[in-house]
A and B are shown apart, each in its own frame.
Chain A
């Protein structure tokens, strides 16, 4: 009797229980990834590049590097790749670490292999840090526009920002008292906006002066998208070149500037994803459960919005490496004597017919690394494409 009563119940339970997918998301992605040969090769090259760059960092830095990229051997200049060093002419500490010049030497007799090792780390960090900066800004701006986009910026906020900006300018000029007054006014405005937050705004007609501060100016979405439009108006390589030329030359400046001028794509992707995600049921459910805004954004929405950002970031790394190489080539990159692939090529261009390896080795290295990132990014795009998922 009890058996009979129980069996239908479990049967029903079985029907109602959400059926788990046949394979987990990760396994499915991995299967799709493995079937994409170009993406696999891109990924493998990327891993190899990572190892080389890390090895390069450790082997070429320090006071007594194993591969010293800075040893100048003027009697051994422009030796072709794989040539054996002239033992009599060199002091023992000047001998290349491998016993031969694997990639030849440049016009100062420096070992190109060591210089390539040193340059690998520069390319890697510039690519990752620049894209990291741009993705962070992009996610922040896109998330703001996508989630809080409908909120209005009130005249009080605009006035506060204006006061604060004026304060900064006055501080820059040196008018301390005036700038302090402006800062105080800005702080007062923000305090007022917090005190009369949503739902507690002053009743109409009660405080006409305060009501003036609550006029809607524009939505957050409009503001951020106009900022994106403004940024897109600048010719990007020209802007980067201008700023890099004006600022003191350093690797960090280049990374920051490339990052600051390339976040617009990520912001647009995140905004578009957020706009569609925030209308979906699971977000409504989370809101109904009383989950906090930031938990909804970072725990529930962000993982679903990251796919296109990841793809554009991977391809962004490729273009950041190209941009850095282009800057180094024009002489605005990482200052010498530090080697980068771009400035090895740039130094070698004068010997293009006598020492073509100075052009071809860094050029092909950049080509392979950039190609691997592009292939990997395109592979990721295919994997994350839901249309492709359903079909297989």
Chain B
């Protein structure tokens, strides 16, 4: 156990090192420079350019820039090129904005897909199963931005509530119920949209796992000895079908920083995804690289956690 943990920590650190190198190279070797002068902008003189380059070490060779950048990142000193604010602080603020979306979306995904998947596995081939199958294909295939607009049209014309942004601007200091309702309405659509794909995929996965377990001999034995169906389905079958999903808790982690670029920009939600998108547009390399690095850390931590959970949950796996 201990050897497994130490080995995978070493392995993941090495992977992370290479990820940092590759992302740095992708950004810096691409054509075009962040310091390129716009010839039409009279404020951008060569002197300013030189100061800019010196400030952000752009005049140094690439490997020095690499070391300096990651040194800055770990000491928390990296600043955004756009507005000279601390990158970590900026990300933290945006992260707090994205967090409600993430929490509501994840809760929706996990609470809806299990009942759906289990029910369609138990009554497979029935009308419920076929309907959910069709809808899950539909939800996997629908482009998020199109679905967002369909939902916006629907909600705005039928419920007459504003949905764009995080809250209605200028609602002011009224009593708290309308404010809370306002927040809920604004939160609802983006988190539902974030959850749709997850619900469709996860419920299919639950269904196939459940169906596989229901085909096992011990389930047939349980049915044959006359146990009530609820006990067979939910006690004998479900417990074993749930095993792989314990590990999937680890895979939620990367979603913490992802945030959907498209959904956040449609809803003008000032979250992580939008910040990353704006950073890409502004060629704000420190932010792009930091977001990339943190998300790589989270992916690796997530796989590590899921391996660990699998070890704990499944007694058949011994290292």
- Residues of A in contact with B (beta carbons under 8 Å apart): 38, 226, 229-230, 232-235, 237-239, 241-243, 245-248, 318, 322, 325-326, 329-330, 345-346, 349, 352-353, 356, 359-360, 362-364, 366-367, 370-371, 374-375, 378
Count of A-B contacts judged by CB separation below 8 Å: 113
Q: Is the CB of A232 within 8 A of B145?
A: no
A40 → B minimal CB distance (Å): 14
Main secondary structure of the interface of A (DSSP, over half): helix
Give which listed residue, B19, B143, B150, contacts A370 with CB less than 8 A.
Answer: B143
Q: What residues on B are CB-neighbors of A349 within 8 Å?
A: 149
B295 within 8 A of A: yes
Stretch at the interface among B25-33, B73-81, B172-180, B231-239: B25-33
Q: For this complex, into which size category does the number of interface residues on chain B fall?
A: 35 or more
Q: Which chain B residue shows the least CB distance to A349? A: B149
Q: Is the CB of B19 within 8 A of A242?
A: no
B261 within 8 A of A: yes
B86 within 8 A of A: no
Q: Give Cα A115–Cα B262 distance, bound, in whole angstroms.
A: 23
Q: What residues on B are CB-neighbors of A352 within 8 Å?
A: 149, 152-153
B281 within 8 A of A: yes
Q: Give Cα A349–Cα B152 distance, bound, in whole angstroms.
A: 11
What 7 pairs across the A-B complex have the smallest Cβ distances?
A363-B146, A371-B141, A246-B30, A370-B141, A233-B296, A233-B19, A245-B280
B87 → A minimal CB distance (Å): 16
Q: Give Cα A363–Cα B146 distance, bound, in whole angstroms.
A: 5
A270 → B minimal CB distance (Å): 21
Besides the known contacts A226-B18, A246-B32, A370-B141, 7 further A-B residue pairs in the complex with CB atoms under 8 A apart: A38-B137, A233-B15, A233-B299, A238-B291, A238-B292, A374-B137, A378-B137
B181 within 8 A of A: no
Q: Is the CB of A367 within 8 A of B149?
A: no
Q: Is the CB of B26 within 8 A of A242?
A: yes
Q: What residues on B are CB-neighbors of A346 within 8 Å?
A: 145
* Central interface residue in B137, B143, B150, B291, by most chain A CB within 10 Å: B143
Q: Give Cα A322–Cα B147 distance, bound, in whole angstroms.
A: 13
Q: Give Cα A356–Cα B157 distance, bound, in whole angstroms.
A: 13
Q: What residues on B are CB-neighbors of A245 within 8 Å?
A: 280-281
B194 within 8 A of A: no
Give which listed residue, A226, A232, A366, contacts B299 with CB less than 8 A.
Answer: A232
Q: Is the CB of B144 within 8 A of A326?
A: yes
